[in-house]
Structure formats: C-alpha cells, structure tokens
Amino acid sequence: MLLERLVEKAKEEPEYDWDAYYKWFFSEQSGQEVAGYTFWECKNCLTINVLLLPARYGKCRCCSLLHLPSS
C-alpha cells in the first residue's frame, strides 16, 4: 500500500519549480543573468562548490583552488 502511494506520488508534477527558483536565486546573488549552475568537487580538499554558468572558472571556497568548467 505504501509503495503504491510512493509510485503514484513520483508520477505527479512537482509542487515547486526548483530549477527556476535556483536560477532566480543565483542570478540575484551574482548580480548578472545566470544560465545555469553546476556543482564540482575540489580535487585538493574534496569540498563541494557551486559554479554559476556562464563562468570561465570557479574558485574553491575552502582552499581557493581554481577550477575550469571544461575539466
């Protein structure tokens, strides 16, 4: 019974459009139009960071290691 309800719930449309919300939120934070975002893991300290697209590079918030989006 519980499994059937979970399957039915998964088929429904989400209540909120989280992609639109995060696109708006990151645009407000960066002060420019953000086309998207991605997460990357620092190879030096293993910290998870957010990269706002379009960006030429990202910088680790912990150790300041530079990250190129193409790598």
Q: Are 68 and 53 in contact (CB under 8 A)?
A: no
pTM, to two decimals:
0.56
DSSP state of 52: E
pLDDT in tens, 24-51: 888 888 788 888 788 999 999 999 998 8
Question: Which pLDDT score, from 0 to 100, does residue 45 have?
Answer: 94
pLDDT band at 71 (very low <50, low <70, confident <90, very high): low
Q: How far apart are CA 47 and CA 49, in angstroms?
A: 6
Count of beta carbons in the 10 Å neighbourhood of residue 40: 16
- Residue 7 confidence (pLDDT) above 60: yes
